[in-house]
Chains A and B, each alone.
Chain A
Amino acid sequence: MVQVKALLAKPWIWSFVGAFLVWIAAVAFTRGHGGGGMIIAALSLAVFMVIVGIGQMFVITLGPGNVDLSLPANIGLASAVAMKVMDGNDSMVAIGLLAALACGFAIGAANYLLIWALRIPPIIATLSAAFIIQSIDISYGRGLQIKPPPGFADFANLRYFGIPVLAMLAVLLAIAAGIVLNRTVYGRSVLAIGQNLRAARLAGVKVQRTSFLTYALAGTLGGIDGALLAAYFRGANVDIGNEYLLASIAVVVIGGTSVAGGKANVPGVWGAALFLVLLLTMLNTFGVSVGIRLVLTGLIIVGVITAAGGPKAER
């Protein structure tokens, strides 16, 4: 009983509860048909939200005002860069992935440069960066769907024991992110800055270096996400990352990370990503119209955030 209580006190548990409930609702609607398939599909699609969500989580944890709005454009450009470098050639996959990583890192670094050197608030800096990146992408990719090499595309669909390999890797990434956040100087610095910037600076935390690394990390994760998305969806395009503006922030918030910064929650990102995909699954299964689907999505997200944020009010 005590254990259950302790579990319920964890802010991330609500996202998993939410995911479970919408899954039950969808399975009840189909009378048990296709429940397993829904989970596999959810795992496959949640991966991409988890990867950018972890990057966004680090940025948001830096404290009020910190957010990376350039992620969708970043993903779009990185997907095009990766596919163009690979050029349908399996032997170029590693180089293409590196190119996507480098592209994402450069975007993250450029974001921080705008914030630090020009003293632009992060929201404005990353949003305007997004416009520039998108324009580069349009002239670079010319709006064409560039196909991934067959081996890379197969890898994106690979499953062991019925579980998508990408999902397993994303779980490893989440574990690594948890270790970095809680067990390294860098991770503790991010949390310290988010809790109180002034106190962190006075305590000797290297604020600028930590912030730079955080934006660069988010950018890099966006880059890798772009390459993987292009593989999974068989082609890079400008709009491939559009969904991840709202999704990357939603998984962070629903997952129990504090929007005010200083409090991060890695498992919650996974729970929230599964929740969002299963929510879409449920609404698609119910066959509701687009308008109702959007309204319900909004209401349910508000509901979950309220439920997850309720007990925190007393702090």
Chain B
Amino acid sequence: MKKIFALSALAVLLASGTALADTSGKKIAFSNNYAGNSWRQSMLKSYDAVAKKAVADKVVAAADVFTTADKEVPTQAAQVQNLILQGYDAIVINSASPDALNGAIKQACDAGIVVVSFDGIVTEPCAYRVVVDYEKMGKEEVEQMAKFQPKGGNLLEIRGLAGTSIDDAIHKGITEAVAAHPEFKIVGSVTGDWDQTTAQKAVATILPSLPPIVGIVDQGGDGYGAAQAFAAAGKPRPTIIMGNRQDELQWWKEQKEKDGYQTWSGSIAPGVSTLAFWVAQLVLDGHKDIPHDLIVPYLSFTQDNFEAALPDIPKGGVASHEYTQADALAAIKDNMK
């Protein structure tokens, strides 16, 4: 019953579409621990655009971004403590570790600060988590592969950063789907760290020892490197699942124009940072019934629509999607069903 009330309240808000005055005095900080790759740059850019507009529209009083130079946990923990002292009302965080920051996060919660984590999530129960259904993404990769390679064959898996929840979830999805598709067999697995260079190196070292490969299942950011490694070794090009990076989609386009190459692309949109921002704003606005774990869909492209999206992705960047407040409400609603 409560849920229905909440939903209808959300629906009213959705219909009215105007910013509520309640949060106009609130300050939201964004704690980020790394800015060195295209995904993070795109994440910051999306966040900046949406947050600046929210400040200009007087939805919130301030929306400042704080990025630490390295990927270190202690630096970010100290940063969160500073943000508490500076009197922010909410902290949006892309965390360096799922549990190592829990102490600092708990302190923030105890100080009455709303904490919303995304991408690099925190396990502290008082915080909100905006997560992508990575397991489903891993499953879909194999299902798409089955379409392109109906006869099946050998697959190479490229894993992400070891020890992260994301790597585990995608790998789990892939493993389960391969078990359901006995025509496929994973004959090799390397660590690509979601990075083109690392992936190319890793694939180059394992490639000579592998039997013929029909497809590569991966985690995004590694597809182009894998393609380069196959080209450098003079091996036939397999079906490589892409991860929404501009260079990956550009390569796909070139291959498609050459001989009708087919594949599929999926990844988390860096603009999910803006969803986290709106979640923080809505919680400050009094929506205490928002679930602490929000699952959002991943952004994917197919053979038919990737070329249309390509021109909008900055050269060397990654496909993104920025959320409006209404989008955020719709995404939250999907999680309350």
In the complex, the answer to whether B208 meets A35 with C-beta atoms within 8 Å is: yes
Chain A positions within 8 Å of B41 at CB level: 142-144
Partner of A134, one of B69, B163, B188: B69
Shortest C-beta distance, A3 to chain B (Å), equals: 33
Shortest C-beta distance, B59 to chain A (Å), equals: 27
Count, chain A residues at interface, CB 8 A? 43
Query: Which among B204, B207, B208 has the greatest number of chain A C-beta atoms within 10 A?
Result: B208
Cα A238 to Cα B195 in complex, Å, equals 11
Cα A239 to Cα B201 in complex, Å, equals 14
Q: Which of A137-155 contact B (CB under 8 A)?
A: 138, 142-147
Q: Which residue of B lies closest to A156 (CB)?
A: B232
Cα A85 to Cα B188 in complex, Å, equals 38
Q: Which of B6-53 contact A (CB under 8 A)?
A: 35-41
Q: What DSSP secondary structure best describes chain A's contact surface?
A: helix
Q: Which of B149-187 contact A (CB under 8 A)?
A: 159, 162-163
In the complex, the answer to whether B208 meets A131 with C-beta atoms within 8 Å is: no
Q: Which of B205-226 contact A (CB under 8 A)?
A: 205-210, 224-225
Q: Is A121 an interface residue (CB 8 A)?
A: no
Bitwise, A275-308 to B at CB < 8 A (1) or not (0) is 0010011001101001101000000000000000
Shortest C-beta distance, A135 to chain B (Å), equals: 7
User: With A134-B69, A144-B315, A157-B232 given, is the CB distance from A240 to B207 under 8 Å?
Assistant: no
Cα A287 to Cα B195 in complex, Å, equals 20
Query: Which among A29, A135, A229, A280 has the greatest number of chain B C-beta atoms within 10 A?
Result: A280
Q: Is B98 an interface residue (CB 8 A)?
A: no
User: With A144-B316, A233-B197 given, is the CB distance from A138 to B36 under 8 Å?
Assistant: yes
Partner of A234, one of B163, B196, B246: B196
Q: Is B269 an interface residue (CB 8 A)?
A: no
Q: Is A26 an interface residue (CB 8 A)?
A: yes
User: With A131-B69, A233-B225, A277-B205 given, is the CB distance from A238 to B37 under 8 Å?
Assistant: yes
Chain B positions within 8 Å of A147 at CB level: 247, 315-316
In the complex, the answer to whether B196 meets A145 with C-beta atoms within 8 Å is: yes
Q: Is A216 an interface residue (CB 8 A)?
A: no
Shortest C-beta distance, B229 to chain A (Å), equals: 8
Q: Is A237 an interface residue (CB 8 A)?
A: yes
Cα A44 to Cα B201 in complex, Å, equals 10
In the complex, the answer to whether B205 meets A237 with C-beta atoms within 8 Å is: no
Q: Is B189 an interface residue (CB 8 A)?
A: yes
Partner of B205, one of A33, A41, A131, A291: A41
Query: Which among A33, A37, A157, A291 has the greatest number of chain B C-beta atoms within 10 A?
Result: A37
Cα A287 to Cα B185 in complex, Å, equals 14
Q: Which of B239-280 contact A (CB under 8 A)?
A: 245-247
Chain A positions within 8 Å of B39 at CB level: 143
Q: Is A78 an interface residue (CB 8 A)?
A: no
In the complex, the answer to whether B205 meets A281 with C-beta atoms within 8 Å is: yes
Chain B positions within 8 Å of A238 at CB level: 36-37
Partner of A26, one of B189, B209, B246: B209
Provide 26 A-B residue pairs closer than 8 Å at the C-beta atoms, listed in order of the A residue: A29-B209, A33-B209, A37-B233, A38-B209, A41-B205, A41-B207, A44-B204, A138-B35, A144-B38, A144-B41, A144-B316, A145-B196, A157-B231, A229-B197, A233-B200, A235-B196, A237-B36, A238-B36, A239-B195, A243-B201, A280-B202, A284-B205, A285-B209, A287-B188, A290-B159, A290-B163
| Residues of chain B whose beta carbon lies under 8 Å from any beta carbon of chain A | 35-41, 69, 159, 162-163, 188-191, 195-198, 200-202, 204-210, 224-225, 228, 231-233, 245-247, 314-317
| Residues of chain A whose beta carbon lies under 8 Å from any beta carbon of chain B | 26, 29-30, 33-38, 40-42, 44-45, 131, 134-135, 138, 142-147, 157, 229, 233-235, 237-240, 243, 277, 280-281, 284-285, 287, 290-291, 293
7 new A-B pairs (CB below 8 Å) besides A41-B204, A157-B232? A41-B233, A144-B38, A147-B315, A157-B231, A229-B197, A234-B224, A238-B37
